[in-house]
Amino acid sequence: MNNKEIRVRFAPSPTGYLHIGGLRTALYNYLFAKNQKGKFILRIEDTDRNRYVEGAVDNLISTLNWAGLQADEGPKSGGDYGPYLQSERLDIYNEHIKKLIDNKKAYYCFCTQERLTELRKRQKEEGLQTKYDKHCLSLSKEEIDQKLNDNTPYVIRLNIEPNNEISFNDIIRGEVTFNTGIIDDQVLIKSDGFPTYHFANVVDDHLMKITHVIRGEEWISSTPKHVLLYDYFNWERPLFAHLPLLLNPDKSKLSKRQGDVAVEDYMGKGYLKGALINFIALLGWNAGDDKEFYTMDELINAFSLERVNKAGAVFNLEKLDWLNAEHLRNTPNGEILIMLKNEISKSKYSSFECTDEYLLLIIEAMKERVSFVKEYIEKCPYFFEPPTEYDEKVVKKRWKEDSHDLLKIFSQRIEQLVNPTKEDYEKTLKNFCEEKEIGLGKLIHPLRLALSGVGIGPGIFDLIFILGKEESLKRIDKALEQIK
């Protein structure tokens, strides 16, 4: 397999949103493929028509593209091994199931739902494992033909010989062995004529030349059935790697009951794709060092399946928030500008008119103080409208008896400045405080309150320079009127 092109696939079902665990599976497949100069294939497993959600395929593809995980082959990308929608491959499955039936590796099962329910009930009462009892395996060819002619509903089952050992090597977990005595005769073709996941996935992985199957650990118990199918067809098995579970902080399996599990939820909350990808990559993998900040290119260069852990990975939202802030600080201001303008267009300031230069000044001044692009609006609304009220706690703490007079005189000094720079404001304020023999804070705190209505924010000289001379003077006058 070393000489072959590495080919991996992400094969979601279009049942709604993309689960955060699904994104991690897609990411690990993508990183492994790119690290190995291989191909990342997207296949849509849409044979469960009862769970199919209209529009889910387009949503899956657009979400993966947003995350930067573009498929080399897939429903939209095309490729040499399509179709990449399983619902368009039914003829292929029918051709292959006939081979299994002819070789007695699969068989028709005409049992009614009532019989299967009664069988399970009896097995439970007797303390036995609930599985099919091979009742229809003993039907003669004449009986089978008669039932088929009568259009009796049927499924097709995998014929598993009991008490054999099935072993496979898992890149993450090592040697895994199952006894066939505990494995059910899996349904391969359902009564609606569509294949089950187990059958279609093996046929497609073989025909699409998949070399490595990288998926969640919940599929380990199904892998013996898949291995048997490879063996029954005399096909070379791919290599398997089963990823650890994603866990809530209380170590329970990550679920919607305890928080957001859809990638779209995190997109909607304003998480950067770079931060989300960085965070998810570290949920079960590390490069063997303490490095936590990664770009996509760095992840591709560092990734290996051998460094994926067996133990479940805890989903820590605080770490995601920290990474989002780090990625935002490392994002060029020009890119943040585009995102900020989009946020403004969705906010109550959608009609606010300003230049790109104005917004770039805000971005630079607030870069160390925000974790999300939307916080450029939420944490400093005073850049988009004058304060209509003043924080009472700050007034009580920072507005002293002489604040009114000091600000009034200082505003007159500002008025005399011509096209002032940030440095001009700084020099004027420092000279004023020296002249009055007062500490800088004596003026800075009431000045900030007058300009913004709050007690925290960017540097005071950034604040006054961004707002500009005329706007700053207006706000000081208003504060002098309103704050008593």
Domain count, the chain: 4
Answer for the pair 479, 463: CB distance below 8 angstroms, yes or no.
no
The one catalytic residue in 4, 104, 256, 397 is 256
More confident residue, 475 or 16: 475
Given a contact cutoff of 8 angstroms between Cβ atoms, the answer to whether 224 and 178 are in contact is yes
Q: Do residues 230 and 270 both lie within one domain?
A: no
**Is there a single domain that holds both residue 126 and residue 146?**
yes
- Encode pLDDT of 460-478 as tens digits: 999 999 999 999 999 999 9
pLDDT in tens, 424-438: 999 999 999 999 999
What is the dihedral sign for C-alpha 415, 417, 421, 423? negative
- φ, ψ of residue 193 in degrees (nearest 5): 90, -5
Alpha carbon distance 60, 45 (integer Å):
12
Question: Which of 173, 208, 243 is the last residue before a domain boundary?
Answer: 243
Q: Which of 291, 309, 329 is the last residue of a domain?
A: 329
Dist. CA 117–CA 126, nearest whole Å: 14
256 noted as active-site residue: yes
The b/e string for 182-216 (b: 16+ C-beta within 10 A; e otherwise) is ebebbbbbbeeebbbbbbbbbbbbbebebbbbbbb
Nearest to 20 by CA among 441, 315, 368: 315
Q: Which residues pair with 176 in a beta bridge?
A: 168
Alpha helices in 130-177 (DSSP H): 141-149
Write the pLDDT tens digit of every residue in 65-82: 999 999 999 999 999 999
DSSP type of residue 401: T
Q: What single letter denotes the amino acid at residue 418?
A: V
Residues 248 and 377 placed together within one structural domain of the fold: no
Q: Each residue of 171-224: pLDDT tens digit?
A: 999 999 999 999 999 999 999 999 999 999 999 999 999 999 999 999 999 999
- Single out the residue of 412, 426, 418, 419 nearest to residue 463, CA to CA: 426
Domain extent, residue 357, equals: 333-383
Rounded CA separation 324/347 (Å): 21
pLDDT tens for each residue of 449-458: 999 999 999 9
Overall average pLDDT of the 120-147 stretch: 96
Residues 11 and 22 in one domain: yes
**Residue among 470, 472, 29 at smallest CA distance from 242:** 29
Is 83 within a domain?
no
Phi, psi of 30 (to 5 degrees): -65, -50
pLDDT band of residue 255 (cuts 50, 70, 90) is confident
**Contact at 8 Å (CB) between 305 and 241?**
yes
424 Cβ contact partners less than 8 Å away, ≥ 6 residues apart: 417
Question: Are 106 and 206 within one domain?
Answer: yes
Residues 119 and 238 reside in one and the same domain: yes
Is residue 154 in a domain? yes
User: Above 80 in pLDDT, residue 1?
Assistant: no
By the 10 Å C-beta count (0-12 exposed, 13-18 middle, 19+ buried), 46 is classed as buried
Q: Which CATH number characterizes residue 225's domain?
A: 3.40.50.620
Which residue, of 290, 311, 329, is where some domain finishes?
A: 329
Tell me whether residue 85 is in a domain: no
pLDDT of 442 > 80? The answer is: yes
Q: Which of 76, 52, 53, 54 is nearest to 64 (CA)?
A: 76
Two structure tokens written together for 63: 């979400």
d(CA 130, CA 128): 6
Under 8 Å between Cβ of 152 and 110: yes
**Mean model confidence pLDDT for the chain:** 95
Q: Are residues 402 and 325 in the same domain?
A: no
